[in-house]
Amino acid sequence: MAESGKRAKGARGSAAERSEDAAGRLAVRKTYKLYLGGAFPRSESGRSYPVTSAKGDHLANAAAASRKDARDAVVAARAAFGGWSSRTGYNRGQILYRVAEMMEGRRAQFTAEIAAADGISRTRAESMVSAAIDRWVYYAGWTDKFIQVIGATNPVSGPYFNSSSPEPTGVVAVIAPPEAPLLGLVSVLAPVIATGNTAVVVASERAPLPAVTLAEVLATSDLPGGVVNILTGRLHELAPHLAAHADVNALDLTGAGELAAGLEEDAAQTLKRVLRPSGDIDWAADPGISWMTPFLEVKTVWHPIGV
């Protein structure tokens, strides 16, 4: 009887593979999908990879996106750009605020995922989730104000009216920072879409679960499909393809690490705007407008006076 029990336990797998709750029920391990164009497709390659906690316990499986998936994400982002950039700043702010509301409803899930991924206390994880939610609210407030702050009426010598106004640059590929899988991700993603751009995000390879949970939040908020597209998988496979993609207008290398220099060279082939922060980043600090300006193009208009 004891031997039979041992065989039954072995058939279920080790504790690292499938855990049991207090009632002895086996946990259901999820295989997450990608988030492209507002939908959740499986990777075109059919691949996935295991996601483990800081202690090495199996948490879930994440899709391993291919270069074809990255191309599909760019197509979706480009298709969504016209509609998203033409919305009023006030409306974009409403939508970003709605994302914050939806994240509040998943606070416990985000907290558990961050605590497991980074091996930190639940109290510390809760504070990071709160900061991420607050960051959405922060950028929601900027959507209808950054034009007035960054734009200007320029004094000129002559009978002309001259004004400069920032406009979104287009499709932005974002490499999420691995050291802050939720707060860092929100801190680099929110300013991109707050200013009217659309985004293709490569989530943290080490800890992708907060990113795919955020995808579920975005899908159930008012954000139009294609404005944000989230890829999970191998950074060294996806990032170079996005950096060289001719229909990607800008590149955020915050989470690129040792790949950054090579990706910057790839981006130069198609004259992309590139953000490559240096040094350690305090994600809890007030971001100001420094994360919005790299992905804006200032357009200047000259108009004759008295004609």
Write down the pLDDT at residue 23.
63
CATH of the domain at 219: 3.40.605.10
Dihedral angle computed from the Cα positions of residues 280, 146, 81 and 232, in that order, rounded to the nearest 10 degrees: 20
Residue 118: pLDDT band (50, 70, 90) is very high
Question: Which tokens belong to 33?
Answer: 């999908």
Write down the pLDDT at residue 13.
40
Q: Does residue 75 carry a pLDDT above 50?
A: yes
Task: State the maximum Cα–Cα separation within the chain, in Å, rounded to a whole number.
Answer: 99
193 occurs within a structural domain: yes
Q: How do residues 227-239 score in pLDDT, each as one tens digit?
A: 999 999 999 999 9
6 occurs within a structural domain: no
Cα 136 to Cα 51: distance, rounded to the nearest angstrom: 26
What global pTM score does this model have? 0.88
* Structural domain containing residue 233: 34-304
Please list, in sequence order, all residues whose beta carbon lies within 8 angstroms of the beta carbon of residue 196, skipping any fewer than 6 positions away: 84, 85, 87, 92, 167, 168
4 occurs within a structural domain: no
Q: How do residues 156-207 score in pLDDT, each as one tens digit?
A: 888 887 888 899 999 999 999 999 999 999 999 999 999 999 999 999 999 9
66 occurs within a structural domain: yes
Write down the pLDDT at residue 27.
73
23 occurs within a structural domain: no
248 occurs within a structural domain: yes
Number of domains the chain is built from: 1
DSSP 3-state assignment of 49?
strand
11 occurs within a structural domain: no
Where does the chain show beta strands of DSSP type E? 48-52, 58-63, 152-154, 160-168, 171-175, 198-202, 228-231, 250-252, 273-275, 296-304
235 occurs within a structural domain: yes
Across the chain, what does the average pLDDT equal?
91
